[in-house]
Amino acid sequence: MPVTQNIKVAVDAVVFGYTSKEGLSVLLIKRNIEPFKNSWALPGGLVGDHESLEEAIQRELREETGVNITYLEQLYSFGQPERDPRNRVISITYYGLVRPDAFVVKAATDASDVNWFNIKKLPALAFDHTTIISVARERLKSKMLYQPVGFELLEEKFPFSELEKLYLAVLDRPIDRRNFKKKITKYGFLEETTEKQALEGAGRPGNLFRFNEEKYYQLQKEGISFEI
């Protein structure tokens, strides 16, 4: 039986941002075209005939937000027939985690505005982008439990409390602080320095830590079993 097919392929990016002060956020654009004109949405768009998926998502991010991210991980494919009211569109989605203060965001092309939104205070979103963000967040939570992602979001040397805040923000649940520190430090890729944390007011400053990336990759080659 012949199959009728008139499908377009798009890419969308869930760019998570993290700062100690603001917690976990998501980068969104305000659409300046129909459908969903003036609604907030994920940055993204159609893939060109001669583009790879990776080239398309990088281009869309640059054009709509001014953000250039070197690494995004493919998340999932969303292809419900009615997800786009114009025509049948399958979206290949990506996600990543960055420091918002590392970029100057600027809206262009199909976007009239671009901004970071706290993950717990998202506006109403276009298309099925609320679902996409939910799936991306669950993937990020899972990954944080078996791979030490996120160290690049911290300063080169940081108090251990900042690492705890990062995990609390992403996992969105309490953690056993004592057990957490024990599990993290046992692998050996988190090094304690002799430098002290700068404190405002009273209190005893603790030592700063740093992530030994070379040690971590060596452990990976040896078959590390990382689990929080």
Sign of torsion, CA 119 73 85 45? Answer: positive
Q: Do residue 105 and residue 160 come from a single domain?
A: no
Answer with the one of 146, 171, 199 that is the final residue of a domain.
Answer: 146
| Mean pLDDT to the nearest integer, 1-26 | 92
- Whether 122 and 170 share a structural domain: no
Q: Is the domain of 93 the same as that of 113?
A: yes
Q: Do 167 and 142 share a structural domain? A: no
Q: What is the pLDDT of residues 64-96, one digit of tens each?
A: 999 988 789 999 999 999 999 999 999 999 999
pLDDT of residue 198: 75
In a domain, 119, yes or no: yes
* DSSP code at position 125: B
What does the block give as tokens for 11? 């890419």
Tokens encoding 131: 């679902």
Do 194 and 129 have their domain in common? no
Q: Is residue 24 part of a domain?
A: yes
Q: Which tens digits make up the pLDDT trace of 208-225? A: 999 998 888 888 787 766
**68 belongs to a structural domain:** yes
Q: Is 200 a residue whose pLDDT tops 70?
A: no
| 26 shares a domain with 116 | yes
Same domain, 158 and 134: no
Q: Is the pTM of this model over 0.85?
A: yes
**Residue that finishes a domain, picked among 94, 125, 146:** 146
CB-based contacts of 122: which residues, under 8 Å, 6+ apart? Answer: 26, 28, 40, 130, 133
Domain containing 53 equals 8-146
pLDDT at residue 42 above 90?
A: yes
- In a shared domain, residues 176 and 207: yes
What CATH number is associated with residue 171?
1.10.10.10
- Whether residue 14 is found in the same domain as residue 73: yes
Residue 99, domain member (yes or no): yes
Please check the confidence at residue 34 and state whether its pLDDT lies above 80.
yes
**Domain-ending residue, one of 130, 146, 162:** 146
Tally of domains in the chain: 2
Q: Are residues 78 and 105 in the same domain?
A: yes
Residue 227 forms part of a structural domain: no
Instruction: Check: CB of residue 166 under 8 Å from CB of residue 155.
Output: no
Q: What is the pLDDT of residue 124?
A: 97
Residue 179 CB partners (closer than 8 Å, separation 6+):
none
Could you report the per-residue pLDDT of 142-153, keeping only the tens digit for each?
Answer: 988 888 778 888
Both 109 and 176 in a single domain?
no
**One domain for residues 65 and 126:** yes
Query: Does some domain include residue 84?
Result: yes
Are 209 and 163 contacting, i.e. CB atoms less than 8 angstroms apart?
Answer: yes
pLDDT score recorded for residue 175: 87
